[in-house]
Structure 1
Amino acid sequence: MQEKIFKTEYAGRKLTVKTGHLAAQANSSCTVQYGDTVILATTVMSKDARDGVSFFPLMVEYEEKMYAAGRIKGSRFIKREARPTDEAILVARMIDRGLRPLFNEAIRCDIQVILTVLSIDGENDPDVPAIIAASIALHISDIPWNGPLVGVRVGQINGEWVLNPTNAAREKSTLDIAFSASADKVIMVEAAANEVDEKTAYEAFAFGLKHAKPMIKFIEDIRKEVGKEKMKLELTEVECPENLDDNQKVNAEEIAKLQEECKAKAIEKLNEFLFNIPKGSKRARKDTLHQVYDMLEEYLLEKQVGKERRKKVMEFFEPFIDEQITTAILERDQRVDGRKLNQIRPLEANVGLLPRTHGTGLFDRGETQVLSVVTLGAPGDEQTLDGMETSGKKRYMHHYNFPPYSVGEASPMRGTGRREIGHGALAEKALVPVLPDKDKFPYTIRVVSEVLGSNGSSSMASTCGSTLALMDAGVPITKPVAGIAMGMASNEKGDYKILTDIQDLEDGKGGMDFKIAGTCDGITAIQMDTKTLGISLEIIEKTLAQGKDARLEILDVITKAIPAPRAELSQYAPRIEILHINPEKIRDVIGPGGKMINKIIDETGVNIDIEQDGSVFITATEPAGMKKAVEWIQSLTKEAVVGDTYEGTVVKIMDFGAFVEIFPGTDGMVHVSEITDKERVSDVNKYLKVGQVIKVKVMKIDDQGRINLSMKKV
């Protein structure tokens, strides 16, 4: 292996690519260094095609390594990296969604792309360099691929566009748009924003795409120098049918002729059934297609076509159905359910369905139905983050569940998959900009969206359901948020039409899934995938505009169901009291080894969370327990005020005076001269005894916190 080094400037920072020095057994490998963030990308393709699979077996893995950040995992028992964090899964999905459309979907060889984070500087997010690394590794490999692409991130600070903002700059940005792009098209989008308008979002894409072009040329130049010749793959195997001799091959012309005959018969049935049941269900359309498929199988059997040849002939079916649906949209503005191109399916929104939960929302859009449920918890219920990049606490969580019955299937229910994590994160991101600040609403908030029925964009239905549930729970969100999935029908000639609210058969080849969430005032989240080689700025602009109309229509339905967040929390939700104490008193509340705080919790049934600034959050479900805990903590942390009078207990007598405990753990001294003004005190014991309760007045508190008390001034 001969090491080659390539350098360029990207967003004002040096980007270095090295090839030929690591992972020699892979089909290709490279490292990309951006700042001090270093990514290793490797690609491998199996020699043989996988038998019996009807999909393209691409695997994209993104591996976070704790050593990259100079950290050791926080768990006391497990120090090795285990399953990927949610953040790693989301980055893997981002990379996958950009790469996948650029492969021929007829490939049946296993292809695996692994991105390993070797070093991270905390300044440059590794997702963009990881996208670039994956693109370079595939482009210089012998694996067939229609790249390259480049990763781009765009921010906006004080009205100025920023290319690939640092992590610190992203905190100040009004939007955060990351996308994969070719020289002139956008392939994948993952965006969060603080209610930006459609024009601003469009301009962000235009700005990023302009800066993608030089990087595409940079990658092409790398391929010219070190790239391998692409392999020629047999994308369709020719097998021997049962009714032919083993040495005979399937006659390609005969296959093509049979396919044309089947297409003619299929068109008759599709026109008769599929497009004539405009209000039919997903199941009805699925049954229709099964009937057409079975009819064609019977036709081929009548013609004595063998099993293997029948299988080969019927390979045309799914692409043909996609083509017919696309043609109907492009030529006749005809959708399978009879809707107009910009029409949303029937909408319904309901709240308050469950008696004991803290807030519920049920959202229906056509056959897509999502039940979202809110649970409010104590500040201590926040999720602890312990990843390569992330640490700290997470206050708002959205979890998305997609059971098999939601699509009418029976299958094993395993752990949470990548798709569920991705959809949950999208709905979570959409609502973060409208959540109340912690100082106004200190609760930990968990929303769970249960997909009860799925036929098109359950993630955007989860966003709508979450809005309903949060408002029903009394969470004071600033505005409702709604989401819509936009689609597209297009052909190889470049004709296209934008679709509002796509469903089942409308997500085929030549399409896109462009999800947009936001309030009445602007966009809060975007996610886009495509089954094309990318979409133009013109398509993005039209989709954003058409999506806004749909979003406003959905928001109208939501606000009719519940116009504003409820003024009161559910009677079953916990209540939180906030006390502000002197930070130096925190130790008094906690006690040695946590003895005091645990005693309060055990005896009152509350949860107590204390922050370093002296904020004490007391969470309780019972008013009596709350009252007792508040009074207890107040007594532990009460501070003396000069001029105030208190009732205290004598705890120690000295020759020069007595020490009096005015609060638990707080003593002051009564000097002999302050015991009485009737006579000079020579023996303190004649006036005071240990355990005696007396009234004293605070005369002075010195710089060291020592309290001077007086009995005679009371």
Structure 2
Amino acid sequence: MQKKEYSVEIGGKILTAIFTDLAEQAHGSVMLKYGETIVLATVCMSHDSQKGLGYFNLTVDYIERFYASGKISGSRFVKREGKPSEEAILASRVIDRTLRPLFEQSIRHAVQVIVTVISVDENDPVILAVNAASLALAVSNIPWNGPIGCVRIGKYDPEGKQASYGAGDDSLIINAPSSWRVDDSKYKFDLTVCGKNGNINMIEASAHQTEEKELAEALSRASEEITKLENFQKKIVSEIGKEKRVIEKETIDQQSVELFKKDILPKMEEAIFSGAGKAKIDELHNVWNKMVAEKYPEREDFSLEDNLFDDTENDILHKKAIEKNKRADGRKMDEVRDLFAQAGGVSSVLHGSGIFYRGGTHVLSVLTLGGPEDRHLIDGMTTKAEKRFMHHYNFPPYSSGETGRAGFTNRREVGHGALAEKALAMVLPSVEEFPYTIRVVSESMASNGSTSQASICAATLALMDGGVPIKAPVAGIAMGLMYESDSKYKILTDIQGPEDHYGDMDFKVAGTRAGVTAIQLDVKVEGVPIKILSEAMIQAKDARVIILDKIEQEIKIPRSEISPNAPKILIIKINPEMIGMVIGGGGKTIKEIKEKTGAEITIEDDGTVYFTGKNDSAEKAKSIVLEMTHEYAVGEVLKGEVVKVADFGAFIRLNPFTDGMAHISELAPFRVERVSDIIKEGMIVPIKVISIDREKGRIGLSIKEADKDFFNQKK
């Protein structure tokens, strides 16, 4: 095996790039090692172009292998890894969104990037995967305008003391261990940042209502480490990089250009700036398509003519925005579209609902509450956990006025759902305060710009309508950019239609009045200066406040009661040593309680017991378990049923699960010759607990101390 290694220090730890001939058929490959986390990135490009495709075909697959964490996964019957987990899909999207802008979009050869996790420790394999994909492309013969660098940065509190939440760079941690991020209460904010040449081209962030200035400082610090990663990769490329393939760019027929200038170009500006949406410009595009099809009846591929139309539309939008402050729908640069908010009012069956409109983007969100047994069980490559909050996003074809496949969740839907989930999770009450499992489903009903951010707004309305005591309402907004240079650009608030399609960035910022809870950045240029992103965050906050005003006009605070159709949850704490008794052999006891009451019962290792049910089922189950697990104390006075009489005393039932014994000397204040003379089975007698032997499970009782006159009264 041929082998060459390069190393660099990143975040106080050594990152090693290992080049071997292990995957020698790939056009580029590398193993990256950070601690004991190792990923293998491979890249390949098809030999021939795909004629008539009309877009750049990039596929990115992040592959989790359970052997990486020393696990054998699956059921008893299937042990092979199945479809990608949600975490793997999100990782693939992070890699894709970082790499894609650095390809020449006119390329019609298929490019595939596969990153396989070989082994994993406490270091995040996703960060390694992005860097490995960059390096594999950089040393390959595939034309790509990299490299890029990727780091994770944040302010963390692994001990739960908020000791690391200080101000400035000193408290910023690069590439924190995964264990610091499993529980979002252990960090103030957590960012994944990718960039090139001091600019940023991808961000994924979650934050606990963090100020924009603090996040901008984190981006600057991240950029320093990213520069180290870029220089590290450039050094390697200079030594072992392959010569890049030259892919000739197809040129359009000059007759098409002349036809376009004569019949289409004069109409474009009016069609672009005809109001909200893309109806007029799409109509003109269809006219152009028919025109070129008639002119070239022998041809099937009109992608070059398509590109001419798109490029011209892009140029006009940029020029008018930058030079004339003009937007397609006539709004000001910082103007939010018309808003509508409705909390509830859909159906009394639903536990909570919200409808939110922002211009032509309409979303319905529906809340469902469940018990602990409804939590989402995750058994992944590195994670075994239960999720109590889920946000799922759906984008049916009719949302954009199209036909298509329904009932299939694509990567985009997974990504948008996760972004909204991240934004809302930061304001949820603790499990102690609100023990319910929470699921929100957002249905995109009509799409004209950032349904993901509208989903956050609609979901906030649904949560508040359902009585979930969130810390504060959350709203999201998508910011755009028309960029010419660092000094000539325009930031657009609430992008829609052609701005979404042709703008240079899609910068989604969600948060409360107090600060940001989530960020997602995608770009179509190589990167955006941090200065512009800082300005965009401030402009986003202004828009966010307008949206929050609208939400709070509809519903100011969460409703005081949950829906009567939602289950009721009661909580008690029992001695952990009694868990086995409540469950019973093979789960027999707990199953009987469930069947008898109709309630669901969840018991945690610390003795916390949740009772979930409708009507009075939860109360009934709670009463039974309390009775079972009641720990009697010396001096406690109660009544019990005599269940057995012996020569030396009487056995008395304290509850259906516990008996005690009153010795003959403890029955009455006078001498008792025979127990059966004064006491019979089935009698209800007053008793006082006078001794407890926990080791032997014995409880000593006294009737005479509970009521010295009891037998006199019986006479």
Name the TM-score class by shorter chain.
Answer: over 0.9
Aligned to 1:6: 6
- Matched-pair contact (CA < 8 Å) for 1:578–1:617: yes
CA offset digits 1:644-693 (Å, max 9, x no partner): 22222334445543332212221222122212221154x44444445544
Residue type of the partner of 1:82? G
Specify every segment of 5 or more residues in structure 2 that has no aligned partner in the other structure, as ranges. Answer: 156-163, 707-715
Tell me, yes or no, if structure 1 residue 519 matches structure 2 residue 515.
Answer: no
Tell me, yes or no, if structure 1 residue 588 matches structure 2 residue 581.
Answer: yes
CA distance in 1 between partners of 2:207 and 2:432 (Å): 22
Aligned to 2:19: 19
Q: Secondary structure at the match of 2:528?
A: coil
CA distance in 1 between partners of 2:74 and 2:633 (Å): 43
Aligned to 1:208: 222
Q: 2:261 aligns with which of 251, 260, 263?
A: 263
Q: Secondary structure at the match of 1:576?
A: strand
Q: Check 1:703–1:272 CA distance in 2 against 1; reply closer, same or farther (3 A cut).
A: closer
Tell me, yes or no, if structure 1 residue 630 matches structure 2 residue 625.
Answer: no
Residue type of the partner of 2:481? M
Aligned to 2:282: 286
Displacement, 1:606?
A: 1.4
Q: 1:695 aligns with which of 657, 673, 686?
A: 686
Tell me, yes or no, if structure 1 residue 186 matches structure 2 residue 200.
Answer: yes
Displacement, 1:331?
A: 1.5
Q: Secondary structure at the match of 2:48?
A: strand
CA distance in 2 between partners of 1:557 and 1:309 (Å): 48
Tell me, yes or no, if structure 1 residue 138 matches structure 2 residue 137.
Answer: yes
Residue type of the partner of 1:161? L
Displacement, 1:310?
A: 6.7
Aligned to 1:570: 563
- Matched-pair contact (CA < 8 Å) for 2:594–2:600: yes
CA distance in 2 between partners of 1:271 and 1:425 (Å): 37
- Matched-pair contact (CA < 8 Å) for 1:152–1:181: no
Displacement, 1:71?
A: 1.3
Q: 1:161 aligns with which of 172, 177, 194?
A: 172
Q: 1:297 aligns with which of 289, 292, 301?
A: 292
Residue type of the partner of 1:701? I
Q: Check 1:326–1:17 CA distance in 2 against 1; reply closer, same or farther (3 A cut).
A: same
Residue type of the partner of 1:100? R
Residue type of the partner of 1:543? A
Aligned to 1:559: 552
Tell me, yes or no, if structure 1 residue 662 matches structure 2 residue 654.
Answer: yes
CA offset digits 1:118-176 (Å, max 9, x no partner): 1011x111111111111111100001000000111111232211111122344532110
- Matched-pair contact (CA < 8 Å) for 2:51–2:301: no
Aligned to 1:245: none
CA distance in 2 between partners of 1:494 and 1:520 (Å): 30
CA distance in 2 between partners of 1:148 and 1:423 (Å): 27
Q: Which segment is superposed worse, 154-163 or 686-695?
A: 686-695
Aligned to 2:671: 679
CA distance in 1 between partners of 2:302 and 2:586 (Å): 76
- Matched-pair contact (CA < 8 Å) for 1:509–1:532: no
Q: 2:424 aligns with which of 431, 444, 450?
A: 431
CA distance in 1 between partners of 2:301 and 2:507 (Å): 38
Q: Check 1:664–1:46 CA distance in 2 against 1; reply closer, same or farther (3 A cut).
A: same
Residue type of the partner of 1:64? E
CA distance in 1 between partners of 2:223 and 2:272 (Å): 40
Aligned to 1:109: 109
Q: Which segment is superposed worse, 10-19 or 627-636?
A: 627-636
- Matched-pair contact (CA < 8 Å) for 2:467–2:559: yes
Q: Check 1:14–1:698 CA distance in 2 against 1; reply closer, same or farther (3 A cut).
A: same
Q: Check 1:162–1:601 CA distance in 2 against 1; reply closer, same or farther (3 A cut).
A: same
CA offset digits 1:352-409 (Å, max 9, x no partner): 1322100000000111000000000011100001101221100000000000000000
Displacement, 1:511?
A: 0.9
CA offset digits 1:265-323 (Å, max 9, x no partner): 42311234432x23x543344224333554x538x73xx88646976555411111111
CA distance in 1 between partners of 2:608 and 2:614 (Å): 20
Displacement, 1:10?
A: 0.9
Q: Secondary structure at the match of 1:546?
A: helix
CA offset digits 1:37-83 (Å, max 9, x no partner): 00011111111111321111111000111111111225344322100
Q: Check 1:308–1:470 CA distance in 2 against 1; reply closer, same or farther (3 A cut).
A: closer
Q: Which segment is superposed worse, 545-554 or 586-595?
A: 586-595
Q: What's the TM-score, normalizing by structure 1?
A: 0.93
Q: Secondary structure at the match of 1:49?
A: coil
Aligned to 2:324: 332
Q: Which segment is superposed worse, 17-26 or 436-445?
A: 17-26
- Matched-pair contact (CA < 8 Å) for 2:570–2:619: no
Residue type of the partner of 1:158? Y
Q: Check 1:115–1:376 CA distance in 2 against 1; reply closer, same or farther (3 A cut).
A: same
Tell me, yes or no, if structure 1 residue 375 matches structure 2 residue 374.
Answer: no
CA distance in 2 between partners of 1:695 and 1:506 (Å): 81
Q: 1:611 aligns with which of 584, 604, 608?
A: 604
CA distance in 1 between partners of 2:670 and 2:486 (Å): 109
CA distance in 1 between partners of 2:175 and 2:514 (Å): 26
Q: Secondary structure at the match of 2:23?
A: coil
Tell me, yes or no, if structure 1 residue 403 matches structure 2 residue 396.
Answer: yes
Residue type of the partner of 2:268? L
Q: Check 1:677–1:257 CA distance in 2 against 1; reply closer, same or farther (3 A cut).
A: same
Q: Check 1:194–1:493 CA distance in 2 against 1; reply closer, same or farther (3 A cut).
A: closer
Tell me, yes or no, if structure 1 residue 361 matches structure 2 residue 357.
Answer: no
Displacement, 1:598?
A: 1.5
- Matched-pair contact (CA < 8 Å) for 1:108–1:235: no
Alignment root-mean-square deviation, CA: 2.0
Displacement, 1:414?
A: 4.5
Displacement, 1:509?
A: 4.8
Q: Secondary structure at the match of 1:548?
A: helix
CA distance in 2 between partners of 1:178 and 1:632 (Å): 49
CA distance in 1 between partners of 2:500 and 2:573 (Å): 55
Aligned to 1:222: 236
Displacement, 1:184?
A: 1.0
Q: Secondary structure at the match of 2:423?
A: helix
Q: Secondary structure at the match of 2:495?
A: coil
Residue type of the partner of 1:383? H
CA offset digits 1:424-460 (Å, max 9, x no partner): 0000000111100011110000000000001100000
Specify every segment of 5 or more residues in structure 1 that has no aligned partner in the other structure, as ranges. Answer: 239-251
CA distance in 1 between partners of 2:428 and 2:681 (Å): 55
Q: 1:499 aligns with which of 477, 489, 492?
A: 492
CA distance in 2 between partners of 1:334 and 1:599 (Å): 70
Q: Check 1:592–1:66 CA distance in 2 against 1; reply closer, same or farther (3 A cut).
A: same
CA distance in 1 between partners of 2:611 and 2:279 (Å): 51
Q: 1:349 aligns with which of 341, 361, 386?
A: 341
Aligned to 2:45: 45
After TM superposition, the structure 1 = structure 2 runs for residues 92-103 of structure 1, keeping only pairs within 5 Å, are 92-103=92-103
Aligned to 2:160: none
CA offset digits 1:206-259 (Å, max 9, x no partner): 0100121111111111111211111111332x7xxxxxxxxxxxxx7xx23641
Displacement, 1:635?
A: 2.2
Q: Which segment is superposed worse, 543-552 or 514-523?
A: 543-552
CA distance in 1 between partners of 2:216 and 2:340 (Å): 31
After TM superposition, the structure 1 = structure 2 runs for residues 240-251 of structure 1, keeping only pairs within 5 Å, are none
Aligned to 2:88: 88
Residue type of the partner of 2:662? V
After TM superposition, the structure 1 = structure 2 runs for residues 524-539 of structure 1, keeping only pairs within 5 Å, are 524-539=517-532
Q: Which segment is superposed worse, 608-617 or 211-220?
A: 608-617
Residue type of the partner of 2:639? E
Give aligned pairs, total. Answer: 689
